[in-house]
Structure 1
Amino acid sequence: MQLSEARHAFVTGGASGLGLGIADALASRGVRVTIADINDEALAAVLTTRGNSFRGVVLDTRDREGWQRAKAEAEAAFGPVDVLISNAGIAPNGKPFTEMDPESFDRIVAINLTGIYNGVAAFAADMAARGRGHIVLTSSQAGLVTTVPGVGAYSVAKFGVTALGEGLRTELAPQGVGVTVLFPGYVQTNLAANTQRVGGDIRKYSDVVMTSDVTPADVGEMVADGIEQDAAYVVTHKQVWPGVEKRMQAIKDACDYRLAR
């Protein structure tokens, strides 16, 4: 979809981090943007620094009735949504499955997978009926390969987002609606604070120095380009491929072994 033809984008987790980076990139291309976020204070602060092409709505992406209210408010103000960025999420809890509190597992899946799906449920059918639009779902490098202990529940959710995006892309292509799955690596955001805000545990990185030269603004530009190219995937960091290649090779080896039997 050419963003010059898009009128309205709806971005969850839009008051900070990747969501705000994407929202700014879309707005710079002339798209009016509704940013949805659970953090009402951050939302209000952002809106004071943006122009009339931005509006905000408080939304917990787990709340399906809240999605319907947010959609009605957004479209009453800016018209039908042409671009959905279903992005809001929380961080890994850092615990192995054997030590994980079941409530923590449920929270991670509810926000990082079901919350992403709830955006699809709210907007995808209308896009299909109009025969136009684009949906971006935020997965993670952990939705491509899991190699680090303590991110298991997070990877379960993010692999689910990957599958959701791939299936949705196949289903919506005949209706003229594009779907992109975003696989961000580490980007400096306030994800940890947002995770704690909803009662979540966060992974402790006491023995790891987390740095990145990729910014939310960089990711916003990548996503905007991906929408215009109708890209199936957007990967933000160059170093992800070796791990993915190792996983894919193991799967290929298993398939080759079965074919040889």
Structure 2
Amino acid sequence: MDLSEAGHAFVTGGASGIGLGIVDAMRRRGLRVTVADIDAQALETVVAARGDSVRAAVLDTRDRAGWARAKAEAESAFGPVDVLVNNAGIAPNGREFADMDPESFDRILAINLVGVANGVFAFAADMRGRGRGHIVNTSSQAGLTASVPGVGAYAVAKFGVTALTEGLRQEMAPHGVGVSLLCPGYVATNLAESTRKVGGEIRDYAGAMPPSKVTPDDVGEMVAAGIEGDAAVIVTHTKVWRSMEPRLAAIRAACDLRDTAA
């Protein structure tokens, strides 16, 4: 999608971190942006610093009625949404499946997976009807390979986002609507604080994640480029393929074994 021809972007989790990086990338390309977030105070700060090109929408992405209200208000103010970025999410809880509180599991899936689906439910049909638009769903490197202990529930949600997005891309392509899967690696944000605000527990990252030079603004620019190039997948870090190789090799071996036995 040519962003110079787009008018309105709607970004969830947009008041901080990667979401805010995407908001600013859209603004730099001349779009007006509805910044949706559960944190009303953070939204107030973001909007005050960016003027009339942005507006705030307090939104818990688990709330389908809230999505309907936010959509109606956003499009009344800025017109039809051309770019939807389903970015809101919370952090891994650090629990192995055998030790996990089911309530924590449910919360991670509700926000990281169902919240993304709710955004699709709210906007996809209208984009299809207009024959234009682009949807970006934020998954994770953990949505490509579940290789790190303690992120199991998070990986389940992010693998779900990966599947949702791949299916949605096939469905929307004939109607002129692009769909991209964003798979960030570790980016320094306030995700831990955001997770605690919704009652979530977080994984202890001390020593677990290597330093990253990739910033939220960098990711915002990658997303903008991905939209304009109709990228199926957007990765933000190097050596992602290497981390996927053991999983893919096991799948290939299983397929080769069955093909040989046939």
Correspondence for 1:204:
204
What secondary structure is seen at the aligned counterpart in 1 of 2:132?
coil
Separation (CA, whole Å) in 1 of partners of 2:203 and 2:80: 39
The amino acid that maps onto 2:39 is N
CA RMSD between the two structures: 0.8
Distance in 2, Cα, partners of 1:209 & 1:190: 15
Q: Structure 2 matches for 1:96-115, cutoff 5 A?
A: 96-115=96-115
Q: Determine the C-alpha separation between the residues in 1 that align with 2:199 and 2:211.
A: 25
Paired with 1:207 and 1:232, the residues of 2 have a C-alpha distance of: 32
Give 3-state SS (helix, strand or coil) of 2:33's partner. strand
The DSSP-based 3-state class of the residue aligned with 1:77 is helix
Match of 1:173 in 2: 173
Structure 1 segment 30-45 matched on structure 2, within 5 A: 30-45=30-45
Could you tell me which amino acid in structure 2 is paired with residue 8 of structure 1? H
* Worse overlay, 118-127 or 209-218: 209-218
Which residue of structure 2 aligns with residue 148 of structure 1?
Answer: 148
What is the one-letter code of the residue matched to 2:239? Q
What amino acid sits opposite 2:229 in the alignment?
Q
Where 2:49 maps in the other structure, the secondary structure is: coil
Q: Any runs of at least 4 consecutive aligned residues in structure 1 with deviations exceeding 6 A, and if so which?
A: none
- After superposing the two structures, state which structure 1 stretch, 94-103 or 48-57, moved more: 48-57
Gaps of 5+ in 1: none
Q: What SS class does the counterpart of residue 186 from structure 1 fall into?
A: coil
Confirm or deny: 8 A CA contact 2:18 2:189 kept in the other structure.
Answer: yes
- In 2, the alpha carbon distance for the partners of 1:187 and 1:123 equals 28
Give the match for residue 54 of structure 2.
Answer: 54
Aligned pairs for 1:1-261 within 5 A: 1-208=1-208, 210-261=210-261
SS of match in other structure, 2:225: helix
Could you tell me how far apart the structure 1 residues matched to 2:210 and 2:57 are?
A: 31
TM score, norm. by length of structure 1: 0.99
2:208 alignment partner, SS class? coil
Letter in 2 for 1:14: G
2:92–2:151 Cα contact (<8 Å) kept: yes
Residue aligned with 1:66, SS:
helix
CA deviations over 1:127-160 (Å, ceiling 9, x no partner): 0000000000000000000111100000000000
Count of residue pairs the alignment pairs up: 261
Aligned residue type for 1:42: A
Aligned counterparts of 2:22 and 2:131: Cα–Cα separation in 1: 23
**Separation in 2, partners of 1:135, 1:208:** 31
Identity %: 69
TM-score (ref. length: structure 2): 0.98
- In 2, the alpha carbon distance for the partners of 1:12 and 1:150 equals 26
Shift of the alpha carbon at 1:239? 2.1
Deviations 1:161-195 (A, max 9, x none): 00000000000000000000000000000000000
Name the CA distance, whole Å, in 1 between partners of 2:181 and 2:221. Answer: 15
User: How many angstroms apart in 2 are the aligned matches of 1:151 and 1:101?
Assistant: 13
Supply the AA of the counterpart residue of 1:171.
Answer: E
CA contact (8 A) 2:186 2:209 kept: no
List alignment gaps of at least 5 residues for structure 2. Answer: none
Distance in 1 between the 2:209 and 2:249 partners? 29
How much does 1:209 deviate? Answer: 5.2
